[in-house]
Amino acid sequence: MDLELDHRRAGMRLPSASKTPAKTVWDRVSSRPRHTVILCFGVVFVVTLILAVHQYFLVRARELDNRSHRLEIQARVLDVAVRNNRQHLQFLRESAERLLADRTAQLDRTPDASLQAVLRAQDERVWNLQVRDIDAPIRGIGTQQLAVTPGLHRDEPTFVEDLRLAQMMSRLFAVQFQMGTGLERAVYVSPTGIVVAHPTIDDDEVVRLLQMYGSSRLLQLANQNPLDYDVTFDPVRGRKNPAGPRLLFGTAVMSNDVVRGLIFFVVPQRIVQDYLWNNTTADETHALIDPSGMPIATSGSTFSVNDENWLKTLPAQWNTLSASTLFRTPSGTLSAGQDFLLFRKLDTADLVLTDYVSAATVFFSVVRLSSALFAGVWILMALLLWATLFVVDQLLSTQMALNGRLRELSLADPLTGLANRRRLNEEFDALSRRNDERRIALLMIDIDHFKVINDNWGHTAGDETLKHLANVVRIAVRPGDLMARLGGEEFCVLLPDTTADDAARIAERVREAVARNACVLQETQLTRTAPGREIWFTISIGVAESVSDNCFDLEGLIAVADQRLYAAKAGGRNRVVASESMQS
């Protein structure tokens, strides 16, 4: 019996004395952490190599997406530039047409001294109209030159009107160049033989411009569609300018469906060329082309003017691609072999911005990104062991600070920095817990005629008014009082340990302080229609107190104070209502 028991006991001890395979592996791993980290790094490295092919295609797709995004940004920038020049031309055209339609100006047709001087100088080949030094020069041709120039005609009433219009254009052109819009020249030409050009041009150029007037494409478009003309952007006709390629914007000034003049801007092509050059990486080839495939600008350091289809300069596998294919959709990506062509159509002009990416460029870009990925994994594994404790400590510290910050944000109004409704509830609950029958007063404040402030000064000024009110009220109340914003222009002030009479006196002090202090705006905050920098306004206040009004919860206090606030509004505003007797 004893021997059998000893054998059983021995049998029971034998399993506990031996180690399981998992325990053995863990002991070896924990005893050699450095080798374990190296082994894990090796496993990750092998897995990364196995997934390299899959990763290549993922990274290639991401690289193409990044290039497409950069192309989109460039297209949007070009759209903005074209749109700005269109808008400036539209403004000049509308200003000119308003002047021609102004009946008040037409009543006084008597030329002033400067205009009379021009009328006397009409026999000269080229005459000048006196303007200020800062304005664009006004020049024109005499009657003899006018008579032999096709498309031009002159009668004195129309000529005087055009001279006055030219005076306005002279001033507006000067302002246009002061704005620094990148223009090389702004020109106004009238069929009565007047030219306004900034910067100035010589006599021969004045005559040449007027000789080109009758055959200009812009004049033909305006005459063909007098009710449907707009600003024309022509990036092709100025390509072979002797001084370098130019981009042209033009529009016609109309009066009673008759062309009274042409306005056009001349923009150097180098502005677009320099933009593409400076904002395109060395391994990209960007080109801005028109519907025929003709390049308008490229990402090269220089621009070669030729009439060749830019798509024909691509490798042979792209020979079947036509420009019309690119203009069928707003954007896209085409492939030929391992090459890619990304394109995006401009919204403001009939142009397409393209990006040709060769197979070699794609491959080396992916290799660079993939190599960085592998190196990052290796470095991460090497640093992981000793960095873990540090990272955990930093994460905990950051999380605690973030939690504190989030709590502050959740209890504050983002505009004024005042307490919000949640903070108000917490403060009231804390005061009530100390003493159920504690005297707690509440002021409900609302700005009188706040909509008028928003309408006259704008919503930015309205926000400044709310912040100004918050600052004034915080100074007027006691240090222990809590001011909160409930929403819009409604505020409240929580007054602990305050009787109804004391609350009414505090409310009156707040009302007077607000009425005495104007909100003063900065110049940058003023709209063009703002009456002035100072905003004087008043407030209406409703007062409630927990004991006298038998309201021992926050909702009840707010309801009573809000009712009295409405009574103050109904009673004429800029007043305090603190009791039922005052309300009635």
Contact 249, 233 (CB under 8 A): yes
pLDDT at 3: 38
- From first CA to last CA, the distance across the chain in angstroms is 106
Task: Encode pLDDT of 276-289 as tens digits.
Answer: 999 988 888 899 98
469-473-475-480 Cα dihedral, nearest 10 degrees? -140
DSSP sequence for 152-184: ----HHHHHHHHHHHHHHHHHHHHHHHTT---S
pLDDT at 18: 55
DSSP code of 523?
Answer: G
Amino acid sitting at position 128: N
pLDDT at 17: 45
CB-CB neighbours of 51 under 10 Å? 11
Q: Which residue reads 């400590």 in tokens?
A: 393
pLDDT at 124: 87
pTM over 0.75: no
Amino acid sitting at position 102: D
Contacts of 525 (CB under 8 A, 6+ apart): 460, 461, 464
Contact 420, 412 (CB under 8 A): yes
Give Cα 100 to chain centroid, integer Å: 36
Angle at CA of residue 112, ends 108 and 116, nearest 5°: 120
Contact 444, 564 (CB under 8 A): yes
Buried b (16+ CB within 10 A) or exposed e, 308-327: ebbbeebeeebeebebeebb
Helices 500-516 and 459-476, packing angle to 10 deg? 130
Contacts of 243 (CB under 8 A, 6+ apart): none
Give the whole-angstrom CA distance, residue 126 versus residue 203. Answer: 6
SS in 3 state form for 308-321? CCHHHHCCHHHCCC
Q: Which residue reads 């600052």 in tokens?
A: 471
Known catalytic membership, residue 464: no
Q: Which residue among 161, 427, 489, 545 is the active-site one?
A: 489
pLDDT at 446: 95
From 137, 147, 119, 259, select the one nearest 205 (Cα to Cα): 137
DSSP sequence for 384-426: HHHHHHHHHHHHHHHHHHHHHHHHHHHTB-TTT--B-HHHHHH
From 335, 296, 354, 240, select the one nearest 81 (Cα to Cα): 296
Residues of the chain falling short of pLDDT 70:
1-19, 26-42, 44-45, 48-49, 51-53, 103-110, 180-181, 222-230, 236-243, 369-379, 381-410, 435-436, 582-584
* Domains, in order of start, for the chain: 29-108+269-387 (3.30.450.20), 111-268 (3.30.450.20), 421-583 (3.30.70.270)
Contacts of 303 (CB under 8 A, 6+ apart): 245, 269, 270, 273, 295, 297
Task: Encode pLDDT of 116-172 as tens digits.
Answer: 888 888 888 899 888 888 888 999 998 888 888 888 888 888 888 899 999 999 999
Angle at CA of residue 240, ends 237 and 243, nearest 5°: 120
SS in 3 state form for 236-289? CCCCCCCCCCEEEEEEEEEECCEEEEEEEEEEEHHHHHHHHHHCCCCCCEEEEE
pLDDT at 254: 87
CB-CB neighbours of 417 under 10 Å? 12
